[in-house]
Chain A
Amino acid sequence: MPRNLFLVGALALWCGHASAADFCPTVADSQNFGLQYQLQGAQQGNLQLLRSHAQTAYYNPDNGVGEWWDFKQASHPNFYRVFSQQQRRIDYYTGDLRTLNIHVSQTEIESFAANNLRQQLTLVGDGACADSQRYQGDYQGVHYELLWSNSLQLPLSLSTRRNDRTQQWQATAVLSGEQVTQQLQQWQQFTDTDYADIGDNETDPFLAQMINQGFVEHSEHAVYNSQGQPLQGAHQH
């Protein structure tokens, strides 16, 4: 649903093609790699997209919070939230996702929530990087500039402008497949709790904080919107 992309009204900045063209990632295995994005403009921060075959994760290295999807069973994806500082993981099962009204698109998750958006924009030409294309256009009051990698099926640069507020996601580094694998393996070792069990663990300080302060539910705290799709810049708390 493209409307989800526009929930983040604060994002909108066109910084020009020059910076986007400066970084042209080379990936050895397009099914096992990561991209580091930097957010510039009214909000600032970093976000890593990690891909390992059917698994895609978004990790904010600034606060150590990640959201991890596994689409091996495409109609019943596994979803986890990871908290690196506490070395904890929350596992969400199908029923949990439904009660939270989270219905995700694998394509959107894997494309930085840009695949559907791309189809709303106009192709304006090839980008500076090999196998990249530039798109632009207006949608629901937001102006978009997108530099899209055909080989990675991901944005290399995504800029938005709404009124005078501007924002840009810029790919800045490649993470190797080995780094991605290590990261996912590390998260696999974290102490895990089923989302359904949180309410029965009020004596656990970490979970009690979740119960009382409410950062477990899907919200603007995460890198996704309430539909489980990634928000540009929503990793700020």
Chain B
Amino acid sequence: MKTLPHVQAAIATAIAAAFVCHSANAAVLPESQSQSSWYTAGAEAVAAKVATARNSGTAKNVILFVGDGMGVSTLTAARIFQGQAAGNTGEENRLSFENFPYSALSKTYSVNQQTPDSAPTMTAMVTGVKTEDGMLSVSADAIRGNCLSSQGHELKTALEYAEEAGKSTGIISTARLTHATPAATYAHTPERNWEADSDMPAEALANGCHDIAYQMVMEAPGDGLEVALGGGRGYFLPNTVVDGEGRNGRRADGKDLTSAWTTNYSNAAYVWNKAEFDAVDTASVDHLLGLFESSHMQYEADRADDVGGEPSLAEMTNKAIDLLAKNDKGYFLMVEAGRIDHAHHAGNAARALQDTVALSDAVQAAMDKVDMSNTLIIVTADHSHTFTIAGYPARGNPILGLVHAPDDEQIDTNPTLAADGLPYTTLGYTNGPGAKTGAREDLSAIDTTEVNFLQQAQVPLSSETHAAEDVAIYAAGPGAYLFQGSVEQNVIFHVINQAAALGATKY
């Protein structure tokens, strides 16, 4: 394989600088090295870094993209998946945000768990404080599931600071808008599962805690969210209501929060399907609520088959930016690809990778629309999964396929066999539903690239688990340079605060 690595267009401006270094070294290097496309591309990449001007200005806008469960192995596999879908070998491909100039590793452990869930990790990212698993934007002084203990321990979020600063705010998720990641931006609760009032125990109701959906609509900070697009419709509707896709609402208090949204705000709109979403005129709508599923939105792989129709993550991002950008003071937008996590829990790599590519597309949509000189874009994950890329497959071997070793410059037509005499896939999980008790299944006649295929796993669990290794942070725009090295996950908030001058503290 002698494919030239991908070279960014922007690098062209820095070639002259690279040539100086290159020429100096070339005198002592063999031609096979100095003239290697790998060598020259690498030198050009360094030159581009040297030429990159640090943007230490203030970020008018902040967009925080979160891939739920999008560990580094997911990024690698997704870039290959996307590249191969485009007809290339894949490894040289780059997801949109992998071209960002700055990155860091994020340590994801929570106050009480080595391997965290999405609640404390998102809390860390949007409040600057780590907390315990299951709790959203309340400190570890609270006890999970106990309302009274949480009162007085609420943590102020970046979204709330942005509202105070007069900015517009928005949240987007392919999961429920009441799910842990989006909820941590606007809600304060000691139990992530209190998404509707019917989910809450008597203690919580008696002590005045409110469910997450209620907080989003009725107790929103500032002048309220300008954009809220995602799933979770049932949590906003009374249990006496059947929605447009045949699902019951689940609120016991009789409140229709979709109706409250349009009542509470001027120039407000509520939409629940793709046609209504497409018809929204962002010039005339100032508060947009879109709830496209009773629970989570569809996986990207299944989206086209939805009953009511759903917009893509990129389409939601586009629409949100159009609406939020009307505010001269700027905006804070959180965008979550929430179902990468669910596909991994199911042991289903194909859906996880497709949703990761959808996130990459959404980031690209944002980059195409915003002014990167005044917009800080951060792309990261809350935690990882036990997802692995293993074996010694040849370059260009289908990422969802069986391992086939290189054969000179071709790919061996026979799969590589393991010690049990059976072939194995490149992608796998340490645990999950793909594990078998006893002998492994023979995959010789199985199409492992089929979207519903469950990768094999080692430890049998009905649901594959999160993993504890660091996740990546990619950043571009004002203040992005502050992401370097290995950082605690709660540093993300502090970078946002510093870059956007949110006023949480002075540096």
Kindly list chain A residues whose C-beta atoms are within 8 Å of the C-beta of B452.
98-99, 101
CB distance from A194 to the nearest CB of B (A): 5
93-113 of chain A: CB within 8 A of chain B: 93-96, 98-101
Within the assembled complex, what's the spacing in Å between the Cα atoms of A91 and B133?
A: 24
Cβ contact within 8 Å between B296 and A194: yes
- Asked if A214 meets B460 with Cβ closer than 8 Å, knowing A98-B452, A201-B193, the reply is yes
Cβ contact within 8 Å between B461 and A93: no
Q: Is B248 an interface residue (CB 8 A)?
A: yes
Q: Is B180 an interface residue (CB 8 A)?
A: yes
Cβ contact within 8 Å between A203 and B134: yes
Q: Is A119 an interface residue (CB 8 A)?
A: no
Q: Is A210 an interface residue (CB 8 A)?
A: yes
Kindly list chain A residues whose C-beta atoms are within 8 Å of the C-beta of B246.
70, 72-73, 78
**Residue in B307, B351, B454, B465 whose CB lies within 8 Å of A95:** B351
162-203 of chain A: CB within 8 A of chain B: 188, 192, 194, 196-203
Interface secondary structure of B, over-half rule? loop
Contact with B along A61-84 (1 / 0, CB 8 A): 000000000101101101000000
Cβ contact within 8 Å between B295 and A91: yes
Q: Is A121 an interface residue (CB 8 A)?
A: no
Q: Is A212 an interface residue (CB 8 A)?
A: yes
Q: Is B305 an interface residue (CB 8 A)?
A: yes
Cβ contact within 8 Å between A215 and B465: no
Closest to B199 in A: A191
**Residue in B193, B301, B307, B346 whose CB lies within 8 Å of A96:** B346
Within the assembled complex, what's the spacing in Å between the Cα atoms of A172 and B293?
A: 41
Cβ contact within 8 Å between B247 and A217: no
Kindly list chain A residues whose C-beta atoms are within 8 Å of the C-beta of B302.
94-95, 98
Cβ contact within 8 Å between A196 and B460: no
Q: Is B118 an interface residue (CB 8 A)?
A: yes
Q: Of B59-67, B96-104, B218-226, B337-345, which binds chain A? A: B337-345
CB distance from B181 to the nearest CB of A (A): 11
A-B contact count (CB 8 A): 90
Closest to A200 in B: B117
- Asked if A203 meets B133 with Cβ closer than 8 Å, knowing A198-B463, A214-B460, A215-B462, the reply is yes
Kindly list chain B residues whose C-beta atoms are within 8 Å of the C-beta of A129.
none
Within the assembled complex, what's the spacing in Å between the Cα atoms of A217 and B118?
A: 23
Q: Is B464 an interface residue (CB 8 A)?
A: yes
- Total B residues in contact with A, Cβ cutoff 8 Å: 43
Cβ contact within 8 Å between A216 and B462: yes
Within the assembled complex, what's the spacing in Å between the Cα atoms of A132 and B462?
A: 43
435-470 of chain B: CB within 8 A of chain A: 451-452, 454, 460-466
Closest to B347 in A: A99
Contact with A along B363-405 (1 / 0, CB 8 A): 0000000000000000000000000000000000000000000
Q: Is B299 an interface residue (CB 8 A)?
A: yes
Q: Is A211 an interface residue (CB 8 A)?
A: yes
Cβ contact within 8 Å between A200 and B305: no
Cβ contact within 8 Å between B343 and A94: no
Q: Is B245 an interface residue (CB 8 A)?
A: yes
Name which of A98, A99, A100 has the most chain B CB atoms within 10 A of its CB: A99
Closest to A70 in B: B246
**Residue in B180, B250, B293, B346 whose CB lies within 8 Å of A99:** B346
Kindly list chain A residues whose C-beta atoms are within 8 Å of the C-beta of B342.
95, 196-197, 199
- Asked if A212 meets B461 with Cβ closer than 8 Å, knowing A94-B298, A98-B452, A203-B133, the reply is yes
CB distance from B56 to the nearest CB of A (A): 38
Kindly list chain B residues whose C-beta atoms are within 8 Å of the C-beta of A72.
246
Within the assembled complex, what's the spacing in Å between the Cα atoms of A199 and B466?
A: 8
Kindly list chain B residues whose C-beta atoms are within 8 Å of the C-beta of A192.
250
Cβ contact within 8 Å between B464 and A93: no
**Residue in B248, B348, B460, B465 whose CB lies within 8 Å of A188:** B248
Kindly list chain A residues whose C-beta atoms are within 8 Å of the C-beta of B192.
200
Cβ contact within 8 Å between A198 and B307: no
Closest to B119 in A: A200
Cβ contact within 8 Å between A199 and B463: yes
**Residue in B180, B451, B461 whose CB lies within 8 Å of A200:** B180
Within the assembled complex, what's the spacing in Å between the Cα atoms of A236 and B345?
A: 27
Kindly list chain B residues whose C-beta atoms are within 8 Å of the C-beta of A201.
193
Name which of A76, A95, A192, A198 has the most chain B CB atoms within 10 A of its CB: A95
Q: Is B71 an interface residue (CB 8 A)?
A: no
177-204 of chain B: CB within 8 A of chain A: 180, 192-193
Q: Is B433 an interface residue (CB 8 A)?
A: yes
Within the assembled complex, what's the spacing in Å between the Cα atoms of A194 and B341?
A: 14
Cβ contact within 8 Å between B454 and A99: yes
Within the assembled complex, what's the spacing in Å between the Cα atoms of A58 and B73?
A: 41
CB distance from B107 to the nearest CB of A (A): 20
**Residue in A70, A76, A198 whose CB lies within 8 Å of B345:** A198
Kindly list chain B residues whose C-beta atoms are within 8 Å of the C-beta of A91.
295
Nearest 7 pairs of A and B residues by beta carbon: A199-B345, A199-B463, A196-B342, A99-B346, A214-B462, A95-B299, A99-B348
Beyond A76-B307, A200-B345, A212-B462, 20 additional contacts (C-beta under 8 Å) are A73-B246, A78-B246, A93-B293, A94-B305, A95-B302, A95-B339, A95-B342, A95-B351, A98-B302, A99-B343, A99-B347, A99-B454, A188-B248, A196-B346, A199-B463, A200-B180, A203-B134, A211-B461, A212-B461, A217-B462
| A positions within 8 Å CB-CB of B | 70, 72-73, 75-76, 78, 91, 93-96, 98-101, 188, 192, 194, 196-203, 210-217
Identify 6 residue pairs between A and B in the complex whose beta-carbon atoms are under 8 Å apart, listed by A's number.
Answer: A93-B296, A95-B339, A188-B248, A198-B462, A210-B462, A212-B462
